[in-house]
Amino acid sequence: MILTVRGLEVFYGPIRAVRCIDLDIEAGEIVALIGANGAGKTTTVRAIAGLAPFLGAITYNGKSLTPNSAEHNLRAGISLVPEGRGILGRMTVEDNLNLGTYCRKDQAQAAKDIDGMFERFPILRERRHSLASLLSGGEQQMLAIARALLSRPRLLLLDEPSLGLAPKTTVAVFELISSLRRDGLTVLLVEQKARQTLKIADRAYLLETGRVVTSGSAAELANDSLMTQAFLGGTPSHETGAP
């Protein structure tokens, strides 16, 4: 198990945003957190990334993570692509990518890895001297993922990567996420687009008002009544033939 979360609770002042969540992620899996706005998905990944205080236990690679320890968690191999992409818009594409390697000591190899990202995402090479705010939504998402990969994570947290993207671009982003798993990366994917998410995920958790209300393999959840009522149009896929 690369990540285990037990009894996670996160408070924003008096408000309990996450209530006693348990999660398990095996190395090499894509695990999805699905839920509506306010379900606690973003808060959960922020706590795992070390960007929020929490109660309970988060264990990564057998070691406990302490709250608000983003720098440590990144160096340990947890990288977050935040909701809204977190692009530094007043900096160039190249500066954003360079910041992706900020935590690394092997700067010579890091420079080669940036070249590797330019080969993987040629549009970023073309726009390397542009301000990141001038990229399209899809290009910004590629930049955010490339930047996160440059820290050489073992666990990638993706918070609503399809948010605000055109349908065609969303398909490309989901294909990219699938390819990351093939490269050996473990992915925790937060999404509201349940149907597309369940197609690429191994397992999923459904969150409502800060709690896990159901979980299981992607195939099981595609037929789960709670999931289908909330996100998949109300009819289990075994009745429609859809996944």
* Residues of this chain that bind other proteins (CB under 8 A): 49-51, 70-71, 74-75, 80, 82, 86, 88-91, 95, 98-100, 102-103, 147, 151
Q: Which is nearer to other proteins, 97 or 212 (CB)?
A: 97
**41 near 207, Cβ under 8 Å?**
yes
Cα–Cα distance list, 113 to 50, 100, 151 (Å): 25, 10, 10
Q: Which is nearer to other proteins, 74 or 206 (CB)?
A: 74
Q: Which is nearer to other proteins, 51 or 219 (CB)?
A: 51
Largest pairwise CA distance in the chain: 55
CA distance 206 to 197: 12
What percent of the chain is helix, strand and coil (3-state, nearest 5)? 40, 25, 35
Strand duo 203-208 + 211-217: pairing: antiparallel
Q: Which is nearer to other proteins, 75 or 238 (CB)?
A: 75
Q: Which is nearer to other proteins, 73 or 197 (CB)?
A: 73
CA distance 147 to 63: 25
CB of 149 to other proteins, least distance (A): 12
- Tokens describing residue 195: 């149907």
CB of 228 to other proteins, least distance (A): 34
Q: What are the backbone dihedrals phi and psi of residue 26, each rounded to the nearest 5 degrees, phi first? A: -85, 150
**191 near 160, Cβ under 8 Å?**
yes
Q: Which is nearer to other proteins, 127 or 193 (CB)?
A: 127
CA distance 82 to 97: 15
CB of 113 to other proteins, least distance (A): 15
What are the beta bridge partners of residue 203?
Answer: 31, 217
CB of 144 to other proteins, least distance (A): 10
Closest CA to 204 of 188, 193, 192, 218: 218
Q: Which is nearer to other proteins, 74 or 230 (CB)?
A: 74
CB of 35 to other proteins, least distance (A): 21
Check the CA dihedral 217-223-226-231 and report its sign: positive
CB of 236 to other proteins, least distance (A): 38
CB of 102 to other proteins, least distance (A): 5
